[in-house]
Amino acid sequence: MASTSNTSSPEEQTHDAITAEEITGEEPPNSPQTSTDPSSQKRPNAFTELMSSSKKPKPTAAFTSQSPGALQKAKDASKGWDPRNGLALYIEKPETNPEGRVVEYDDDYVVINDKYPKASVHLLLIPRKPEYYTQHPLQLLSTATAFRAEVCNRVARLKVLAASELRRQYGHLSVSDTPYQEALEVLMSSTDDPPPPKERAALLPPGRDWLSDIVAGVHTHPSMNHLHIHVFSREMQSPWMKHKKHYLSFNTTFLVRLEEFPLDEGSERFHPGKWPNWDMKCWRCGKNFKNKFAALKVHLEEEFEQWKKE
Amino acid sequence: MASTSNTSSPEEQTHDAITAEEITGEEPPNSPQTSTDPSSQKRPNAFTELMSSSKKPKPTAAFTSQSPGALQKAKDASKGWDPRNGLALYIEKPETNPEGRVVEYDDDYVVINDKYPKASVHLLLIPRKPEYYTQHPLQLLSTATAFRAEVCNRVARLKVLAASELRRQYGHLSVSDTPYQEALEVLMSSTDDPPPPKERAALLPPGRDWLSDIVAGVHTHPSMNHLHIHVFSREMQSPWMKHKKHYLSFNTTFLVRLEEFPLDEGSERFHPGKWPNWDMKCWRCGKNFKNKFAALKVHLEEEFEQWKKE
DNA sequence: TATTCCGATAGTGAC
DNA sequence: GTCACTATCGGAATGAG
């Protein structure tokens, strides 16, 4: 079955949203015992199921660039390797599914799982055309109407995908999702040929609104050179959520949400000033942790335990 | 022989200047392989030899204070234990030779090896009378003429003692000390009854001027509550020399040398301002290390190697 | 400016 | 605002019975 295979042939434009360590052996910096249910790791995830449906973007002919090795050598020779260009790999050769992180791609966009996710779900939508990915995200999203519309369309679908992944990870612990979970159990076990994921929604009660905890937006001053849109869950539970700036960059106005565009031409949002010095406040209860990141981390785990059970 | 014994009976007012770990098992925070010659650890040191001579201060009758336990409990009850009062122990019961650190004492003063020495030799001269030890060192040394004179007399002798200890530790590596070292070798091996330390100086060539690298002074804002005068060697080689403020406090005008007293009444020396932000400069070559303590430490070891060979 | 522990802050280098 | 490493800087508690 396609949903459990892990092919990376050029003919396939979608990939299982597998974790990095399954391919590369890379591991999170800290043991993530408290962040995820180990039993959920073995099930097919939401990316797998939704992306194998019929609504996915269509692939094109094989991408005809130089070999990655040649490109890499050229960059190294000219100015040395620059970690801020790390996203180029996915733009140039998505069909090779680098590091097993590609969720889907077509001629114009690639979607990946963030290499250092700051939440349980953390996707990046990356335009593949230089006319887009070389631009500053606030500028481009405020002025290029067609680009913005296309991004909004794709993000709308990715948010549903991300919400579905949240349900896969935590649905069994959620009180408000119980109607959905129980109906799903019945639906999947009542026949030898259960309906595909896309047809299930119409057959099931709504359950919890996971979509309300998915956010999409861009950083005012991205560190990575290629324009990218973050789609992530709000709970901020990840072993890669390690620094104050990590938290602030996703939980302050330093993040411009997609629905805030277009910005006014002279908007102050373009110049957040000393944002790394801003206080850290809990995304859920609003408690101010000032600059105490370690205390915030402890608190976020407590909020996470409550949030899952909602 | 007294010079190699380690008695702490009330009748004795001097003690071998043994290292702390010989008594308490305490060890330096980092392995001190590079700071001292292991072979020198087994020989009697300069404190032992000089303090067993006839010029030492005379002891008095047993010190009649409350028991240390009673004093300790009183402090604990009133305001809790305070590490800034750590020197009280030596003032109150020097005859018990606490932690093996007492070099000498009498009714009025006690001399100890600093518990956390910042150099190869680091003594503290501590007055035992509350009328002195409760005062601010800059104020008292600038105004109490008799006290200052007494301190200067004692420090003059302690500097000779410290210089002798430097010679014991590093003399065998010193080019300019060769005449002394060779003559000493001859003197000590030519007879079965070598002269006592105090008589040797007249029989030997001067050799290296170790005294020129011994400094005495007080901190402008001491952390320890009981007034104390530092007598130390300049090379700053010690596993307890670990922080910028350690270095600055012994190598800037934050240290007021004994010969600088009395200070003028309105002297700026009383208010060094933001001294912990001052640059660190090598005591020997003057090189400015700004705030790079780790780099300074490496450099100090290099200077140390050269300095020993002078 | 006592130490020690922990953590926040800052600079660098990286393919 | 990429990470990872080192080191600097900053506050709080501190022993012993």
pLDDT at A8 over 90: no
Place of tokens 């002025």: A143
Q: Is A69 (CB) below 7 Å from strand C? A: no
Residue–nucleotide distance: A282 CA to C7 C1' (Å): 19
pLDDT at B46: 67
- Whether the predicted pLDDT of A150 surpasses 80: yes
Q: How far is the CA of A104 from the C1' of C14 (A)?
A: 29
| Rg (chain B; Cα; Å) | 20
CA distance A169 to B103: 69
Amino acid in position B257: R
Residue A239: nearest nucleotide (C-alpha to C1'): D3
Which pLDDT score, from 0 to 100, does residue A30 have?
Answer: 59
CA quadruple A57, A61, A66, A71: dihedral, nearest 10: 10
The nt closest to A72 (CA vs C1′) is C15
Evaluate if residue A82 carries a pLDDT over 80.
yes
Q: What is the pLDDT of residue B192?
A: 81
CB A43 under 7 Å to nucleic chain D: no
| β-pair partners for B127 | B109
Position B5 scores a pLDDT of 36
Q: What are the phi and psi torsion angles at A122 (to 5°)? A: -150, 100
Protein-nucleic contacts, chain A 277-296 to strand D, CB < 7 Å? none
Comparing B168 with A189, which gets the higher pLDDT? B168
Write down all domains in chain A, each with its CATH number in brackets.
2-277 (3.30.428.10)
Q: Is A110 a residue whose pLDDT tops 60?
A: yes
Measured from the Cβ of residue B20, the count of other Cβ atoms closer than 10 Å reads 18
A10 touches strand D (CB under 7 A): no
A222 touches strand D (CB under 7 A): yes
Show which positions of strand D are touched by protein (CB under 7 A): 1-4, 6-10, 14-16
Instruction: Mean pLDDT check: name the lowest of A13-17, A226-230, B138-142, B250-254.
Output: A13-17
The distance (Å) linking the CA of A111 with the C1' of D15 is: 59
pLDDT at site A28: 76
pLDDT digits over A257-291, tens only? 999 999 999 999 999 999 999 999 999 999 999 99
Greater confidence, B181 or B199? Answer: B181
B245 CB neighbours strand D below 7 A: no
Check residues 93 to 122 of chain A and report those whose beta carbon is under 7 Å from nucleic acid strand D. 116
Would you state the pLDDT for residue A201? 87
Higher pLDDT, B202 or A66: B202
Give the span between the Cα atoms of B165 and B167, in whole angstroms. 5
- In this structure, is the CB of residue A78 within 7 Å of any atom belonging to strand C? no
Cβ of B223 near strand C (under 7 Å)? The reply is yes
Distance of alpha carbon B80 from alpha carbon B11, whole angstroms:
34
**Distance D14 C1' – B76 CA (angstroms):** 13
Tell me the CA end-to-end span of chain B in Å, nearest whole number: 34
Cβ neighbourhood burial of A299 (10 Å; 0-12, 13-18, 19+)? middle
CB–CB of A31/A159 below 8 Å? no
A291 touches strand C (CB under 7 A): yes
Tell me what percent of the residues of chain A surpass a pLDDT of 70. 75
Instruction: State whether the beta carbon of B275 lies below 7 angstroms from any atom of strand C.
Output: no
Cis amide linkage into residue B262, ω under 30° from 0: yes
A123-127, A128-132, B66-70: segment of lowest average pLDDT: B66-70
Q: What percent of chain B has pLDDT over 90?
A: 69
Q: Quick check: B122 CB within 7 A of strand C?
A: no
What mean pLDDT comes out for the span B180-205?
89
Does residue A307 surpass a pLDDT of 80? Answer: yes
Contacts of A200 (CB under 8 A, 6+ apart): A184, A187
CB B260 within 8 A of CB B292: no
Number of Cβ within 10 Å of residue A141's Cβ equals 24
Distance of C1' in C14 from CA in A300, Å: 31
Strand C contacts (CB < 7 A) among B residues 25-44? 29
Token pair, residue B204, equals 């030997």
Nearest to B16 by CA among B93, B154, B113: B113
What's the mean pLDDT in B209-224? 98
pLDDT at B98 over 50: yes
Which CA-bearing residue is nearest the C1' of D14? B83
Rounded to the nearest integer, the mean pLDDT of chain B is 84
- Is the Cβ atom of B271 within 7 Å of strand C at any atom? no
Q: At what angle do helices A244-251 and A293-309 cross, to 10 degrees?
A: 50
Closest CA to A113 of A205, A187, A51: A51
Cα(B117)–Cα(B94) distance, integer angstroms: 19
